[in-house]
Amino acid sequence: MTKKLTTRRQFIERGAKLGIAIPLIGSGLLGCNFNEEKKEEATESSSKKLSILILGGTSFLGPHQIAYALGRGHSVSTFTRGKTLPTIHQELFKNVTQLVGDRNNDLSALEKGTWDVVIDNSGQNVEWTKNSAELLKDRTDLYLYTSSTGVYYPYLTEDIKEGTKLLLEEPQELEDEEMRIEYWYGVMKANSELAAKKAYGEDRTIIVRPTYMFGPADKTNRFIHWPLRLSEGGEVLVPGKPQDPVQYIDVRDVAEFMIRLIEEKHTDTFNAVGPKTAQNMYDFVEEVSKAFDVEHTFIKLDDYEFLKANKVPYLVPWIMPEGNNYGSARANIDKALAAGLTYRDLPTSIRETYNWWHSDGVTDEMRQKFEGNTGNVFNREKEIIAAWKKNNS
Ligand SMILES: NC(=O)c1ccc[n+]([C@@H]2O[C@H](COP(=O)([O-])OP(=O)(O)OC[C@H]3O[C@@H](n4cnc5c(N)ncnc54)[C@H](OP(=O)(O)O)[C@@H]3O)[C@@H](O)[C@H]2O)c1
């Protein structure tokens, strides 16, 4: 059965019942300075003012980097096609120099000018990174490439450190389409990292490899299941065995870490992964549920065969830790911690993500795409739980 789309009015009424502060409704709200503690930190200015060029900058990670960087006194230019408009921090973009072009075929807007640092967020093609790094290397000091823990695919081991040897070529003739995409993405990111280092040298390159990012402005609809579902209470489907690990990170923690790395010129490669202390799926839902003052009964589905038969191979941040995905939530975070990666409080992040979902930053169409999708676990949950109970009665 499809769940009914939450209207803004229902959200306000429900929020009031749940005791959720809803200061986000209304346009200027999407400044995303939700966390008071972090707000103070964001306005703390850095001693050296940098001029930063972001390749990208207007979708998910970019606006959070911009908010933090401007708050610390840096100046920012973005380079995009002008197609993706920011849905958060819009008011800050009047203070950003917006260059227009296309990484596919038009870098002319980058042919002149100097900056201290390039942040390459939009790298989805090795040639793009190669061309921009070559073009900018003599007019900029540092290059930060936004990579991904996807470079470790297939995830066959645990405690995956940054020095792990990476796959640089995709295997031929893979039949599984999902696996083919995973290989393509990991190999593309790994070769893009090399292209950046080749142009700038190790001593002028920073590589950051985030795991699944969540938070305001996330358009993937991968993580929103949890804030929405746990806000409702009742019987909640929890996939996985007790020891299954999960990893994820608030996008703002990644954005802020990156800006601090460039301020310190901390050139190296880092896994940007949370939480700080290893967590399994059961601990994750317990922690997230603290965001909402409602009763939950967790129905723990610990049989992989049952989950596969019911089309639940993942429910991010949980990914069935088998085969090529064994280590997908087993990245090592020691280096990033030592370099100053910090983490927001999880229930607070979840509440802020929930509030953002119901704010002006998200269209009804986008909400409908997730909340009205009859195929997703959000809408199939009741029937899956009923089947589980029947099997186990
Ligand atoms: N989401 C996750 O969980 C996750 C996890 C690990 C790593 N990552 C990586 O994180 C990075 C950040 O992605 P984001 O979307 O959040 O970054 P973003 O910088 O906020 O937005 C992406 C930007 O790319 C621009 N763009 C797209 N195609 C372009 C083209 N052909 N030429 C010029 N600009 C182009 C878009 O603007 P226009 O459309 O206007 O051009 C947009 O500004 C990605 O590299 C992704 O692989 C993401």
183 alpha carbon, distance to own chain's centre: 19
The Å distance, Cα 82 to ligand 1 centre, comes to 12
Atom 12 (ligand 1) nearest CA: 121
The Å distance, Cα 88 to ligand 1 centre, comes to 15
Mean pLDDT by 10 residues, the chain (393 residues): 48 42 26 39 70 98 98 98 96 98 98 98 98 98 98 98 98 90 97 98 98 97 97 98 97 98 98 98 97 97 98 98 98 98 98 97 96 98 98 91
Q: Which residues pair with 245 in a beta bridge?
A: 280
Encoding tokens for residue 123? 């790298």
The Å distance, Cα 21 to ligand 1 centre, comes to 31
Q: What is the pLDDT of residue 173?
A: 86
Does residue 80's CB lie within 6 angstroms of at least one atom of ligand 1? Answer: yes
Residue 289: inside a domain: yes
Model pTM score:
0.91
Cα–Cα distances in angstroms (integers) from residue 95 to residues 82, 242, 259, 303, 351, in the given order: 16, 48, 17, 52, 29
Atom 23 (ligand 1) nearest CA: 56
Does residue 132's CB lie within 6 angstroms of at least one atom of ligand 1? Answer: no
Among the residues of the chain, which ranges form H helices? 8-18, 36-43, 61-71, 126-136, 177-200, 225-232, 251-263, 281-289, 304-309, 334-338, 346-357, 364-371, 377-391
Residues 6+ apart with CB under 8 A from 168: 187, 190, 191, 194
The Å distance, Cα 329 to ligand 1 centre, comes to 23
Residue 346: inside a domain: yes
Mutual angle of helices 126-136 and 177-200, in 10-degree steps? 10
Residue 3: inside a domain: no
CA dihedral (122, 127, 130, 133) positive or negative: negative
Q: What is the pLDDT of residue 64?
A: 98
Encoding tokens for residue 335? 């280096």
Q: Which residues pair with 120 in a beta bridge?
A: 55, 145
Q: What is the pLDDT of residue 120?
A: 99
Does residue 148's CB lie within 6 angstroms of at least one atom of ligand 1? Answer: yes
Work out how many domains the chain is built from and give that number.
1
The Å distance, Cα 121 to ligand 1 centre, comes to 5
Residue 312: inside a domain: yes
- Give me the CATH number covering residue 349: 3.40.50.720
The Å distance, Cα 189 to ligand 1 centre, comes to 13
Does residue 58's CB lie within 6 angstroms of at least one atom of ligand 1? Answer: yes
Q: Tell me the best of 61, 79, 132, 270 to mutate to test the pocket of ligand 1, counting ligand atoms within 8 Å of each CB and taking the most.
A: 61
Residue 1: inside a domain: no
Question: Do residues 251 and 217 make contact, with C-beta atoms less than 8 angstroms apart?
Answer: yes
The Å distance, Cα 124 to ligand 1 centre, comes to 8
Does residue 62's CB lie within 6 angstroms of at least one atom of ligand 1? Answer: yes
Q: What is the pLDDT of residue 32?
A: 35
Enclosing domain of residue 109: 8-391
The Å distance, Cα 148 to ligand 1 centre, comes to 12
Atom 22 (ligand 1) nearest CA: 56
Q: What is the pLDDT of residue 14?
A: 47
Does residue 361's CB lie within 6 angstroms of at least one atom of ligand 1? Answer: no
**Concatenated DSSP letters of 212-241:** SEESTT--S-SSTHHHHHHHH-EEEEEES-
368 alpha carbon, distance to own chain's centre: 21
Residue type, 36: E
